[in-house]
């Protein structure tokens, strides 16, 4: 075997003592394929099971913690106890293949389609429409409503309740989804958070909501799970909006999160090697380099972003990240990890084969999204 590949296949211990069998993780990706009632579909279970054998952890697509947090058509639910059997099916399918099952928990905030939430009312930190994505971007009549302090507290508790359901459903952990412009990020962002109460204002006050969710999730884990239960946090490094989150803002958030006893942090990047845009001195330096420097080995960082070949992964690991998530690469090539392990990296498929939906075990809604979104996947 290529000696440089050996590293990515070595076990890794998380801060809570859990051993991951290797350093490769399936990234969380929306698949639009759950049943209309919020339960996991058979096609979805098969899709995850097909990809769970090689990686050490599978982080699921996001599951919403309250009815007004549903961000996608075909998103599965974690907002009530009746969903525990559905959640259990997915955890079991992933774990049976030898991977840790991590449930990503989320609220879509102002990015929720109005037709998916009660009374069509979308909510956020403040009543500021999104500038990109989401209905409020294109329709001036659709504006998010600012959550009351009481409602904010209820959503914090809901993240804890969904964590309890994940524990009861047999998951190995949860990932708090603080990235990609959804509600947790909306509270951290000066674009979407114009509040003047304890949840808004200064950078420190805009951290109040994300940190309260971390604390509530950890409180529930302490009460209901064993110490081996994994808690991770995902974040996006920057926003293009003005005002918006800068790399400097994120480094302050990450510096704080690194002290919170989490098991990992997970950056959301389209390109692993992308450089910082603003809020830092050197915009030629990669975001990953800045993050690793700030974290300074206090908590493991999962890197991600357009990793398709073993060479891409080798280059990424050389930066010093301990763990790497693969997203589209695993949809295109479900046997990615096995091929590296078997010295067949030259057989890794790196472009979607439009004739192989069935062999790739990709549910129809996800397949249709891939085929009709040019540029999203290589080969389309």
Residues annotated as part of the active site:
182
Q: Is 168 exposed, middle or buried (0-12, 13-18, 19+ CB in 10 A)?
A: middle
Residue 276: alpha-carbon gap to chain centroid: 20
Q: What are phi and psi of 174, to 5 degrees?
A: -130, 150
Cα distances (angstroms) measured from residue 68 to each of 71, 130, 202? 9, 17, 27
List the structure tokens of 180. 């990609």
Q: Outline where DSSP puts E strands in 130-187.
A: 145-146, 173-178
Alpha-carbon distance 231 to 15, whole Å?
10
C-alpha Rg value of the chain to the nearest Å = 20
Alpha-carbon distance 111 to 173, whole Å?
25
Q: Does residue 265 contact residue 258 with C-beta atoms inside 8 Å? A: yes
Q: Does residue 199 contact residue 213 with C-beta atoms inside 8 Å? A: no
Residues 6+ apart with CB under 8 A from 300: 12, 14, 15, 263, 264, 265, 322, 323
Residues 6+ apart with CB under 8 A from 48: 58, 60, 90, 93, 94
Alpha-carbon distance 275 to 289, whole Å?
9
Strand 12-13 versus strand 57-64 pairing type: unpaired
From 46, 51, 47, 53, select the one nearest 21 (Cα to Cα): 53
Alpha-carbon distance 115 to 331, whole Å?
29
């Amino acid at each position: 075997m290529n000696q440089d590949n050996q590293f990515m296949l070595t076990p890794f211990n998380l801060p809570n003592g859990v051993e991951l069998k290797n350093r490769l993780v399936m990234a969380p990706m929306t698949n639009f394929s759950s049943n209309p009632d919020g339960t996991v579909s058979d096609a979805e279970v098969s899709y995850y099971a097909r990809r769970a054998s090689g990686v050490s952890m599978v982080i699921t697509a996001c599951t919403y913690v309250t009815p007004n947090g549903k961000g996608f058509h075909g998103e599965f639910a974690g907002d009530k106890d009746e969903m525990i059997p559905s959640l259990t099916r997915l955890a079991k399918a992933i774990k049976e293949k030898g991977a840790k099952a991590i449930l990503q928990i989320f609220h879509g905030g102002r990015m929720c389609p109005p037709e998916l939430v009660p009374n069509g009312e979308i909510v956020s930190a403040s009543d500021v429409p999104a500038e990109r994505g989401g209905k409020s971007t294109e329709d001036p009549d659709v504006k998010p409503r600012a959550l009351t302090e009481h409602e904010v507290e209820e959503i914090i508790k809901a993240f804890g309740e969904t964590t309890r359901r994940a524990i009861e459903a047999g998951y190995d952990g949860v990932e708090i989804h603080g990235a990609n412009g959804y509600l947790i990020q909306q509270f951290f962002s000066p674009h979407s958070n114009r509040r003047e109460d304890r949840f808004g204002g200064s950078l420190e006050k805009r951290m109040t909501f994300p940190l309260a969710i971390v604390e509530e999730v950890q409180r529930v884990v302490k009460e209901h799970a064993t110490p081996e239960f994994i808690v991770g946090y995902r974040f996006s490094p920057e926003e293009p909006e003005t005002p918006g989150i800068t790399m400097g803002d994120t480094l302050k958030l990450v510096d704080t999160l690194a002290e919170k006893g989490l098991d990992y942090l997970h950056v959301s990047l389209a390109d692993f090697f992308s450089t910082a845009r603003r809020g830092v001195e050197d915009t030629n330096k990669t975001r990953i380099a800045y993050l690793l420097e700030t974290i300074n080995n206090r908590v493991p960082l999962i890197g991600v972003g357009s990793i398709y070949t073993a060479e891409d992964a080798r280059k990424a690991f050389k930066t010093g990240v301990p763990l790497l998530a693969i997203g589209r690469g695993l949809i295109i090539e479900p046997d990615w990890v096995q091929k590296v392990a078997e010295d067949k990296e030259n057989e890794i498929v790196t472009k979607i084969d439009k004739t192989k939906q069935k062999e790739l075990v990709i549910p129809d809604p996800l397949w249709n999204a891939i085929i009709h979104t040019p540029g999203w996947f290589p080969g389309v």
